[in-house]
């Protein structure tokens, strides 16, 4: 679709360059500019979309659960270590 819009924009530019009417020149030039910007932005959006990873593939629920359990175990271990250190008398 963006390539078709670029082709239409090129045709409008050719019409703008060959016309003798100032109003038609302005309309065709502005339409050509608008279609060109729109099609380039559409091409860039497609490229970004194709290179982006799927959100579903980032992490699965089992891996997330395993990571949470590891983090909770580390927090519990760190909490127990601080409690043990508090019970030790300071010299």
Q: Which residue has the higher pLDDT, 91 or 11?
A: 11
Confidence of residue 81 (pLDDT cuts 50, 70, 90): low
Q: Provide φ and ψ at 53, rounded to 5°.
A: -80, 155
> Are residues 67 and 40 in contact, defined by beta-carbon separation less than 8 angstroms?
no
46 located within any domain: yes
| 14 in a structural domain | yes
What is the Cα–Cα distance from 40 to 70, expressed in whole angstroms? 47
pLDDT digits (tens, 9 = 90+) for 1-56: 888 999 999 999 999 999 999 999 999 999 999 999 999 999 999 998 887 776 66
Instruction: Answer whether residue 90 is part of any domain.
Output: no
* Residue 91 within a domain: no
CA distance 50 to 84: 53
- Domain assignment of residue 43, yes or no: yes
Instruction: Give the number of domains in the chain.
Output: 1
Q: Which residue has the higher pLDDT, 60 or 86?
A: 60
Quote the domain boundaries for residue 33.
2-51+60-85
pLDDT band at 78 (very low <50, low <70, confident <90, very high): confident
The model carries a pTM of 0.57
């Amino acid at each position: 679709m963006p390539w078709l819009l670029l082709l239409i924009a090129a045709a409008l530019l050719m019409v703008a360059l060959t016309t003798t009417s100032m109003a038609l020149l302005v309309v065709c030039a502005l339409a050509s500019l608008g279609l060109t910007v729109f099609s380039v932005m559409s091409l860039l959006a497609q490229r970004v979309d194709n290179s982006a990873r799927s959100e579903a593939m980032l992490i699965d629920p089992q891996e997330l659960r395993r990571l949470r359990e590891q983090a909770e175990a580390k927090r519990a271990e760190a909490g127990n270590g601080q409690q043990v250190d508090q019970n030790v008398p300071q010299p």
